[in-house]
Chain A
Amino acid sequence: MIDAIDFQLIAAVQAGLPIAARPYAAIAAQLALSEQDVIDRLMNLKSQGLIKRWGVVVKHRQLGYRANAMIVMDIPDERVAELGQQISRFSFVNLCYQRPRRGETWPYNLYCMIHGKSRELVMQQWAALQQSCGLSGIAFEVLFSRRCFKQRGALYRQARQPRLEASHG
């Protein structure tokens, strides 16, 4: 279980770890905790899975990965877990989620994200993925991103349960 101090800790590290010799000590000082306590709590949150990963968060667009496609697929329900796991193993796939279908307007139940350096490359990667996962008969749509209106709002309320930037809802 996580406690109020864990919430404060997550709120404190959300904006990022200081780039300094003893970064966890700097966080500890803000929260009146010991450096070791900060480290132990973060390890614990990570092993519990609440922190999905702890590390460098890159900015794809600035690194030249300007083509971003969300691909939605209509997979038979009994195969969605198997195919989801298979798709997520491709190095160029960086998110893979099951979401509910919404009737005939939106019959898709599996979502994956591909960040690539160009549309052409993303479409080649998608074609390779379709072929190797046997998705030829599967209905899909490719949704490239156009404008980014907002990328993050690491907003939380210290006094209450913090709102966090989750990986992708």
Chain B
Amino acid sequence: MLSPLHKQLLNNYQQDFPLSPTPYRDIAEQLGVSEDEVLAAFQVLAEQQLISRIGPVIAPNAIGSSALVAMAVSDADLAWVAELVSSYPEVNHNYERENRFNLWFVLIADNDEHLHGVIADIEARSGYQTMLLPMLADYFINLGFELNLHD
């Protein structure tokens, strides 16, 4: 079970984790607990894999070139095509979704040429076409994920 401290750490510090020499002590002061309690609670969240990290989320396309890519793959071929796609270091999310376009992944490359090179390679090796869906605008303002941890 998550303690109230765990929940506060999960919910309140997604957007603005303190950028000060002693961020965990700052959080402790804000929450009225000790620095050791905050450090221990973050250790637990990390060990239980409830957080992936405390760190940056980089704006899409701020560095390099990225795109969402979709493929419509037959059920019989999906496992090996998915494995092929995942094997590229440029791919960082790769999901099966319920749709005729059933394989969805995000590609991040150094530049457009590199991006198109990887796409061409995936198409050649898989024998399937891809649908390239780069981001045109990002409307998201309320950053971070608001967890409903009260139930």
Is B128 on the interface with A (CB-CB < 8 A)? no
CB contact under 8 A between A39 and B20, given known A53-B14, A60-B145, A97-B138:
yes
Q: Is the pair B50, A63 in contact by a Cβ cutoff of 8 Å?
A: yes
Contact across chains for A53 and B143 when beta carbons are under 8 A apart: yes
Please tell me if the beta carbons of A54 and B68 are within 8 angstroms of each other in the complex: no
B63 touches A100 (CB 8 A): no
19 contacts between A and B (CB under 8 A): A19-B39, A19-B43, A21-B24, A51-B56, A52-B58, A54-B15, A55-B13, A55-B14, A62-B49, A70-B104, A99-B135, A143-B99, A144-B98, A145-B95, A146-B102, A148-B94, A151-B93, A166-B106, A169-B67
A91 to B42 alpha-carbon distance, docked (Å): 24
State the total of A-B contacts with C-beta under 8 angstroms.
275
Interface-central residue, B46, B57, B61, B143, by most chain A CB under 10 Å: B57
- The reply to whether the CB of B76 lies closer than 8 angstroms to some CB of chain A is no
Q: Which listed residue (B15, B19, B21, B146) contacts A25, Cβ 8 A? A: B21
> What is B's interface to A at a CB cutoff of 8 Å?
9-10, 13-17, 19-25, 35, 39, 42-43, 46, 48-64, 66-68, 70, 82-83, 85-86, 89-99, 101-102, 104-110, 131, 133-149
Shortest CB–CB separation between residue A76 and chain B, in angstroms? 15
Our pick among A51, A59, A81, A143 for the contact of B49 (Cβ within 8 Å) is: A59
- B65 → chain A, closest Cβ, in Å? 10
CA distance A31 to B66 in the complex (A): 27
Q: Which residues of B contact A162 (CB under 8 A)?
A: 63
